[in-house]
Amino acid sequence: MATASTPITSTPKPADTASDERTHRVAFIIMAAVFIGAPLVGVYPVFMMKVMCFALFACAFNLLLGFGGLLSFGHAMFLGGAGYAAAHAAKVWGFTPELAVLFATLCAAALGWLTGKLAIRRQGIYFAMITLALAQMVFFLALQAPFTGGEDGIQAVPRGKLFGLIDLSNVNAMYAFVLAIFLGGFLLIYRIVHSPFGQVLKAIRENEPRAISLGYDADKFKHRAFVLSAALAGLAGATKAIVFQLASLTDVHWSMSGEVVLMTLVGGLGTIFGPVVGAAVIVTMQNYLAQLGAWVTVVQGVIFVLCVLLFRRGIVGEIGHLLKKSL
């Protein structure tokens, strides 16, 4: 008779596990080297910091959808909400950047806990619609609240001094700070996915009734995953607000929730490195095709359709399939 300790999925062979770990280690080293070396070869540091912020945001979303099977149309409320919290804490309360980012991340986690409590017992489109509705409420709050600056947002946010010592107005120091946050967040997500918690989460995604029959509280696991995803999305939003010295309605708008879905699917849903590649592709398009104006959205739509038709696993998913490696 099956018990709660019964493994839900087949245990991977030790050789396969070791091979995947080596592949992930090499891929991580390459990714870190790209982000470290990009400014050294002339790539605009602020552009790379934007890529890292959105890459972390996409990885947080992928943790929920790719490994938890929960589609949220309201993740922008965590990105933008944390941005406002960090900007307000840094500008009005005089928090140092690390404390502002930490405060905003905790705010996003608290908002995620509340949202999860309201939405997690619903499934499918009902769950997605509840998250979208709550995100619209947060957008309205950001538009109307006196401390958010309305349509102007919170501008001229001071970068301050890290730990009261390192001046983040220096672009190299700011880049190192963002890089450390991105790599730390990425490694945390990797650890979550490959932990026993992550394995149960994937089992719930594949067959929730069976997981429940084995004694796992599916709602509890999904709620924890939602809170973790919200906190990491908030970490990305808070970092972005410090980098650009701005918290605006753009980051809390529903279209941002759509963009992160696009980033995740283009890169590869349910892959470790896919959201990073997807975020880099979308942000690069937005940056270098900006002269097209509103046509950028059309180009994004065309690329998305082509990816869905030709690369259903996403860019990294297709590469992993060709190499027969888990990426």
Tell me, yes or no, if the pTM score tops 0.85.
Answer: yes
- Point out the least confidently predicted range of 33-37, 77-81, 134-138, 312-316: 312-316
Torsion of CA 26, 32, 48, 85, to 10 degrees: 110
pLDDT band, residue 120 (cuts 50/70/90): confident
Q: Tell me: the pLDDT tens digits for 270-304?
A: 899 999 999 999 898 888 877 777 777 788 788 77
Residue 5 has a pLDDT of 44
Which pLDDT tens digit goes with each residue over 182-239? 999 999 999 999 999 989 999 888 888 888 888 888 889 999 999 999 999 999 999 9
| One-character DSSP codes across 109-176 | HHHHHHHHHHHTTS-THHHHHHHHHHHHHHHHHHHH-TTTTGGG-EES----EETTTEETTSHHHHHH
> In which residue are the tokens 């599916």 written?
218
